[in-house]
Every structure is written in C-alpha cells, then in structure tokens.
Amino acid sequence: MKDEEKALIAAWSDHSRMWKDNKWVYPVISRRAGGLSVGVNLNPDHHCTFSCAYCQSGPQENHKPVPIDVEAVERELRDFIAFYESGDYKDCAFFKDIPAEKKLLKDLCLSGDGESTIVKEFPEICRRMRNIQKDLTPSAGPFKLRLITNGSRLGNDAVEQGLGYLLEENGEIWAKLDAGTEEWFKKINRSPLHLEKILANLETAIKRYPLCIQTMLCDIQGQVPSESEIGSYIENLKKIHGTNPGNFVEVQLYTVIRHTLLPDVTPLPTEFLQAVASRITAEIPVKVRIF
Ligand code: SF4
C-alpha cells in the first residue's frame, strides 16, 4: 500500500475532535464529504436527546455543562480557514501525506459529541457560519454548510431560524434514521421521543431543505434488524422521499467502527449493508452509499 493510501485510511479513521488548542473546531478528512470537513462541536458536554446504543462519542454521563462561547467558535473557524487558505496546512503533519484532491475543503459542518440543535446559541452560530461562507467562498471554493442531526429538534422555532441562515445557499441536513418500527427505534436510539415524531420532523425538513438520510446498521447484543424491520424502514424512507423527491440527496448506510456506548454492539458485514442498499434502490429511485 502506498504512503498516500495509508495516510488517507489513517485520516478517515481519525475522528478525534482535537486540533491544536481548539475547543470547538476540528478538521477531519471525511470519506462522506469527499475531502476536508471542518467540524464544529457544540456539545463538548455530550448533551443529546438520544442515547444511541452505538454512540461512538464516549460516555454521556458525568460531563459538566459547557457554556458556548460564540466568539471563540467563530474565531476558531476563521483561524482554521485562514490556515487553509495560506496553503501551510498542506505540509503540517496531519495533512502532509494526504493526496491533494482529498484535502480540498468540502464543508463546514455542525457535528459534535451530542446534538448541536440543543444549544440555545444554535441560531447565532448558524448565522456566523453563513457569514464565513459568504466571506470566503470566492477564495476557498464552493464549500457547503451542513448540519448533522438526529432530527429530534427539526421544526423547533429557534432551530428553523438557524437553518434559515445555515442552509440559505449550498447547505444540507444529514439526518439520522435508524429504524422502521418504534420497537427498533427504542432499542437502537434509546430516546424518550417517538419514531413518529422523528419521521414527521424529517418530512417537514425535506419540504424546505436538501436532506441526506444516515442509517446505522449494527448488531445490538445479538439482535440485528429483521427482514420486516428493514421493510418498515424502507417504507419510512419512501414517505420522506415522496414528500419532496427533489430535495432527497441520498442514503448513507454505515456500521460500527469504534468503541460504542453499550457493550456488545458490533458491526454487520458489508454483504448485509449491500443487501439493504439493493432493497432500497429496488423500491425508491435514490442514491445509496455504503461506508
Ligand atoms: S444522536 Fe449521535 S451523539 Fe446522540 S447518542 Fe446518538 S450517536 Fe450519540
């Protein structure tokens, strides 16, 4: 294997949220984004509305609340982008051996150790990210603004206000949908909310915004999604897609790769994911990618 390939695989596997002395902003080389993704973690306290069996962000308990420093978030974003634009980043240890085309800036992405839409500063952070995009698009290229979310707070007034800024131009929501039935939803996402509410939120969101669905397929302590569970999941996808096909970006299927919140949550074989992908594309005209 060439050094470039090794570096790329190492970078794909490295999802640590640490970059120099930063507290909020971290770069990753993202397979899904297709290049450099600059993440914004608004949840160093791991606060989330779900408690997914497969959560790979580390334990949710025993974190003190962390107040959001909006100025610091913006400063870290602008500093990293200035570093990117200077060209110096290409030679720093983190990026040095990554192929040139894989380290092009693809997005600024709200994706943290919890649910970004929970924080009350969400609208203001979105507004500032959009300002950065406006300021920098000509020199840095047409990067996207993205929200990665579990979908639980889509439709909330403050969240909608934030999305109005964030998704004004070249923006996308990447939202989680892991279940076809309430039973599997409770098992995998372990939220006090109901699947019906999440589905309603996703249908509302796709009316206005480009939406990508991200789905985790895994073995939870010896239980895997059954044939009929997958069938119900595809029915859910159909409803979301049917609401506004033009805004349906794609489905991303993935499995566990790191340490999980619950013990004995393990990956499913690629063949399982491929079989689910085939069932989806047989019923809905959508792109499905497997990670
Ligand atoms: S929604 Fe994300 S951060 Fe929240 S528990 Fe699930 S995997 Fe973890």
Q: Which residues line ligand 1 (CB under 6 A)?
A: 48, 50-52, 55, 57, 114-115, 150
Question: Does residue 147 contact residue 110 with C-beta atoms inside 8 Å?
Answer: yes
Same structural domain, 114 and 205: no
Q: Is the dihedral of CA 151, 155, 160, 164 positive or negative?
A: positive
CA dist 255 and 218 (Å) reads 6
Of 43, 54, 57, the one to substitute when testing ligand 1's pocket (max ligand atoms within 8 A of C-beta) is 57
Of 244 and 95, more confident: 244
Range of the domain at 147: 1-162
CA dist 134 and 136 (Å) reads 6
| Cα separation of the two ends of the chain | 20
CA of 118 to the centre of ligand 1 (A): 12
Atom of ligand 1 nearest to the CA of 150: 1
In a domain, 58, yes or no: yes
In a domain, 172, yes or no: no
Provide the Cα torsion 137, 138, 141, 145; round to 10°. Answer: 10
The fraction of the chain above a pLDDT of 90, given in percent, is 74
Of 130 and 93, more confident: 130
In a domain, 112, yes or no: yes
Indicate whether this model's pTM tops 0.75: yes
Tokens of 173: 């929501």
Same structural domain, 24 and 143: yes
Tokens of 280: 């989806």
Same structural domain, 16 and 120: yes
Q: Other C-beta atoms within 10 Å of 104: how many?
A: 13
Write down the pLDDT at residue 16: 60
Query: Is residue 58 pLDDT above 90, yes or no?
Result: no
**Structurally, how many domains does the chain consist of?**
2
Same structural domain, 148 and 112: yes
Same structural domain, 71 and 190: no
pLDDT digits (tens, 9 = 90+) for 160-218: 999 999 999 999 999 999 999 999 999 999 999 999 999 999 999 999 999 999 999 99
In a domain, 169, yes or no: no
Instruction: Provide the pLDDT confidence category of residue 277 given band limits of 50, 70 and 90.
Output: very high
Average pLDDT over residues 273-283: 98
Specify the DSSP element, H or E, that contains 277: helix 270-283
